[in-house]
Amino acid sequence: MTAPQESTFADLGKVLVIIPTYNEAENVDRIVSRVRKAVPEVHVLVADDNSPDGTGELADKIAAEDDHVHVMHRKGKEGLGAAYLAGFRWGIDAGYDVLVEMDADGSHQPEELPRLLTALRTADLVLGSRWVPGGEVVNWPKSRLLISRGGSLYSRLMLNVPIRDVTGGYRAFRKETLLGLGMDEVASQGYCFQVDLAWRTVKAGFKVAEVPITFIEREFGASKMSKNILVEAMWRVAGWGVSSRVAKLTGKKG
């Protein structure tokens, strides 16, 4: 019988990695296995939006063989933001102290999770950043790089947040941070959801840290990015920025 492995991040408490899925049958087993190997003590929650390709059923089989893996079956495709918010609430109710966002497609490398968790020891939110020294993106066309870099710069300037990769989705939150953000007020989705949470974290006075990651374009399945997601992000961020500036001028809470 193998002796239980000592927890590397016991000082952070219980860690839950939330992986939203929709039609990720080609990726779900691979990504869960990599997470469990990278940091064996963490737990994984697969939040599946009733994938027609059977992703949820595959996740159930993985969970049946591993008590560190859990599955949330949602009614349908409601968006990335809704899936993460549901996962956050599930994790907090279940007693987890750290909640991590991670894509199912392998673009967020589980092997870099220890870097995020280590930085969380002195922060309230840690962002895996493509745009700080040491960060990089692999296999993206120049157009996608321009959109991502431009989106982060646009959001940073509009909202006056000191974050280089404000749109990135590889993140580790302390439970207390999420509880202090007003999650019930978050209605944004996709690209914009990540901006919203980062901005709320800064406004609430929490400490945010960025660590470099290597973002790798997915090998299997289709990207969920769309023109509608980008348009939503632009107009929402603009609205937030204007409202915040007006609030400052009028002395009201923005």
Least confident of 6-20, 124-138, 207-221: 207-221
User: Which pLDDT belongs to residue 3?
Assistant: 40
pLDDT band at 217 (very low <50, low <70, confident <90, very high): confident
| pLDDT average, residue stretch 154-170 | 88
Structure tokens at 71: 């599955």
User: Which pLDDT belongs to residue 184?
Assistant: 86
Least confident of 42-46, 79-83, 115-119, 127-131: 79-83
| Gap between the Cα atoms of 32 and 46, Å rounded | 9
* CA–CA distances in Å: residue 140 to residues 130, 163, 189: 12, 22, 23
DSSP annotation of 39? S
| pLDDT average, residue stretch 145-150 | 77
Which pTM was predicted?
Answer: 0.86
Task: Give the residue extent of every domain in the chain.
Answer: 10-250
Q: Which fold has domain 10-250?
A: Spore Coat Polysaccharide Biosynthesis Protein SpsA; Chain A (3.90.550)
Burial pattern 184-210, b for ≥16 Cβ within 10 A else e, equals: eebebbbbbbbbbbbbbbbbeebebbb
CB 117 within 8 A of CB 15: yes
pLDDT, tens digit, 9 for 90 and up, residues 12-64: 999 999 999 999 999 999 999 999 999 999 999 999 999 999 999 999 999 99
| Gap between the Cα atoms of 146 and 34, Å rounded | 30
The C-alpha angle 124, 184, 100, rounded to 5 degrees, equals 35
Closest CA to 164 of 127, 112, 201: 127
Closest CA to 72 of 54, 59, 53: 59
| Gap between the Cα atoms of 120 and 98, Å rounded | 9
* CA–CA distances in Å: residue 46 to residues 52, 97, 136, 141: 15, 18, 27, 29
pLDDT band at 4 (very low <50, low <70, confident <90, very high): very low
* Region at 70 (left for phi over 0; alpha for psi -120 to 50; beta for the rest): beta
Statement: residue 2 has pLDDT above 50: no
CB 165 within 8 A of CB 135: yes
